[in-house]
Amino acid sequence: LLTANQQYSVVRKVQGGGKILIIALQILLLVTTHNFLLYLLVETIGVIVQYFIFKNIINNDIHFKVVPQSISDDEKTTLKNELKIKIKNMFFHKIGGVLVLNTDYLLVSKFLNLSYVTIYGSYMMVFQVVTVLMSSFVNAITASVGNFLINQNDDEVTSIAKQFNTVFIALATFISLNMYFLVNDFITSWIGEKFILGNGIVILMLVNVFISVIRIPCDIFKNATGFFGDVYYPLLEGVVNLFFSALLAFYIGLPGIIIGTIISNVLIT
């Protein structure tokens, strides 16, 4: 509700402050008690506390408009059913995203070894910093885009969509090129030369980064309009990723896993 009300800055303050406190408490508990269950419990309690903070903010700061006309029982039932369908579709979208993001780690550990998981994970951690920054930007503007879509005609919406595509293609190119020239030096400085991947593998990973960034405008407009009707596409993307990554990993190892992810991204996109 806060994001839809164009108050994403409030969301980030609560989540960011909460995350800092949670991590600080987890470190303290691990150092003093060495109890992993308490470590997990802090995370759970933190989420619950954030829920009540958000609930309090919404109740005090957001003034809901009261609809003067009465709504019939049939209309209430229709609205509830539509809401259930959208929640279900969003759930499948989240599941598909988890499949795509985590399948590669499982396949690397299955077809290669745990040392490759460490190396691959180090690169992915760097690339995911970009993803997190982009996600914060996307969440901040999605509500504004939704408000724009309601108030403008189709030609203006098409025009702004093209502008978004142009900006994000340029941004994806800039990010990918800079990452190519800088990421190996960063990994070397961070954890050492023995954790460096070849240039060919880095290029394949950056192709995935490029595709992820240029897909962002589509995700912005989908989220802004509340369209999650393509419920099976994320699941299909996860299945396609698993199939091609496993098949190619058997023959060419780590490059095959990354190529499988590229194939799923391109086919489903």
Position 62 scores a pLDDT of 65
- Please state, in angstroms and rounded to a whole number, the distance separating the CA atoms of residues 1 and 54: 9
Q: For the segment 17-34, what is each residue's pLDDT rounded down to a tens digit?
A: 888 898 899 889 888 888
Residue count (the chain): 269
pTM: predicted TM-score of the whole model, two decimal places: 0.75
Nearest to 144 by CA among 11, 15, 8: 8
Position 259 scores a pLDDT of 92
Position 65 scores a pLDDT of 55
Q: Residue 227: what are its φ and ψ, rounded to 5°?
A: -90, 110
Q: Which of 9-18, 39-48, 62-71, 206-215 has the lowest mean pLDDT?
A: 62-71
Helix (H) or strand (E) holding 111: helix 73-111
How much is the mean pLDDT over the chain? Answer: 82
Position 140 scores a pLDDT of 75
Categorise residue 6: left if φ over 0, alpha if ψ from -120 to 50, beta otherwise. left
- The arithmetic mean of pLDDT across residues 193-219, rounded, is 89
Position 229 scores a pLDDT of 66
Radius of gyration of the chain (CA): 22
Q: How would residue 248 be classed by pLDDT, with cut points 50, 70 and 90?
A: very high
Other residues' Cβ atoms within 10 Å of the Cβ of residue 87 = 10
Q: For the segment 169-185, what is each residue's pLDDT rounded down to a tens digit?
A: 999 999 999 999 999 99
Beta-carbon contacts of 199 under 8 Å, excluding residues fewer than 6 positions away, are 184
Residues 233/178, Cβ–Cβ less than 8 Å: no
Q: Which of 43-47, 144-148, 257-261 has the lowest mean pLDDT?
A: 144-148
Residues 138/219, Cβ–Cβ less than 8 Å: yes
